[in-house]
Amino acid sequence: MSKRDYYEVLGVDRSADEQGIKKAYRRIAMKYHPDRNPDDADADAKFKEATEAYEVLSDGEKRGAYDQFGHAGVDPSMGGGGFQGGSFSDIFGDVFGDIFGGSGGGRRQGPQRGSDLRYTLEVALEEAVRGATAEIKVPSLQHCDPCDGSGAKPGSRPVTCGSCGGSGQVRIQQGFFQVQQTCPKCRGRGQAISDPCGVCRGQGLVEKTKTLSVKVPPGVDTGDRIRLSGEGEAGPAGGPPGDLFVQIAVRQHALFERDGRHLYCEVPISFADAALGGELEVPTLDGRVKLKIPTETQTGKLFRLRGKGVKPVRGGPVGDLMCRAVVETPVNLSAEQRTLLEEFRGALLKGGDEQSPRQSSWFAGVKQFFDGMTG
């Protein structure tokens, strides 16, 4: 049976470059690989056909012979180079190296960086707004002092790992694939410890608690993070440390709520002050200020105190303090107060709708609603 043209097999033009040929072969090989198509003879045949074509066209000398003489130029029986059929792992190492870790000899991994840590720091609203300095205690893995992080008993040294030869990487054959992975014996260090340190038991790391000073900048809010470089866990085998991320959580305040750069608070006012107007002292983070209450103030009215909010940590104008009026109904009335209120209520009824416009409007809406139902 005659062989198909190798360019046709890979679906490329004769002018295709090396990358185009490699890309075409990778697509076909991934589709028809025996590991993906077990017990499929047709797929196995197409896979071998594509591999044979790639083995020839990816080699400049063989491709030149094939372009000039066709299959005869690469047929071993005719004196050509031919397809040897025994270099699958080399071909896959070249084509799929970006997926399975490369085809060349693995190089020993450098010192691994330590893990990053996170610490949640609770601060009061005043500290978040003005800034503060806090001391925190952070448990973490740090280099063992007796062995200086090597993991070997003082006076001894780690030796080259016998499994990976010091490269930190091992290769595992899976069918036609060669998979490169971290050496399980030395965990990528490239070294083994025959006489481990008695303090860290060969790990090179021990748990310690560090006391750190954290500067909280003014304007931070819940969810903001402060990065302390190099204050995370130490890296194995003397590797550099990770970072510590301090997560800010602002505690709930008794008076104020924060929304970005603005602060909000509720200000209870008496029925008399709401009706007649008056003046109240209200709190701010900078002290007390006078707030003028106009006549006929209703519950929910917002009074804005400019510049009494928060200056954002990332810059921008200072926010405002928004005071929300809450009209308080008097309780525990005396007999005299009840009598006065009864007289006042009677006076309001005589005044008509003009003195209770919202109530009158609401009742009108209710009447219209029920009239619509009955109609």
What's the CATH number where 275 sits? Answer: 2.60.260.20
CA angle 171, 175, 178 (to 5 degrees): 25
- Integer Cα distance of 13 and 7 in angstroms: 6
96: domain CATH number is: 1.10.287.110
Does one domain contain both 117 and 172?
no
Length of the chain, in residues: 375
Q: Which of 233, 303, 248 is nearest to 273 (CA)?
A: 303
Does one domain contain both 295 and 311?
yes
Does one domain contain both 150 and 208?
yes
Range of the domain at 214: 107-155+196-252
Q: Tell me whether residue 375 is in a domain.
A: no
CA angle 208, 212, 214 (to 5 degrees): 150
Q: Which of 242, 161, 248 is nearest to 205 (CA)?
A: 242
Does one domain contain both 20 and 63?
yes
Q: Are 250 and 120 in contact (CB under 8 A)?
A: no
Residue 240 clears pLDDT 70, i.e. is over it: yes
Task: Count CB neighbours of 21 within 10 A.
Answer: 21
**Alpha-carbon distance values, 182 to 42, 97, 233, 342 (Å):** 36, 15, 21, 87
| Residue 67 pLDDT level (bands cut at 50, 70, 90) | confident
Does one domain contain both 94 and 184?
no
| Residue 181 pLDDT level (bands cut at 50, 70, 90) | confident
Q: Which of 260, 254, 256, 264 is nearest to 220 (CA)?
A: 260
Q: Nearest 5°: phi and psi at 143?
A: -60, 140
Q: Nearest 5°: phi and psi at 128?
A: -65, -35
The model's pLDDT over 280-328, given as tens digits with 9 standing for 90+, comes to 999 999 999 999 999 999 999 999 999 999 999 988 999 999 999 999 9
Residue 133 clears pLDDT 70, i.e. is over it: yes
- In one-letter notation, the amino acid at residue 339 is T
Q: Tell me whether residue 11 is in a domain.
A: yes
Does one domain contain both 70 and 51?
yes
Q: Are 42 and 48 in contact (CB under 8 A)?
A: no
| Residue 157 pLDDT level (bands cut at 50, 70, 90) | confident
pLDDT at 291: 93
Residue 85 clears pLDDT 80, i.e. is over it: no
pLDDT at 177: 62
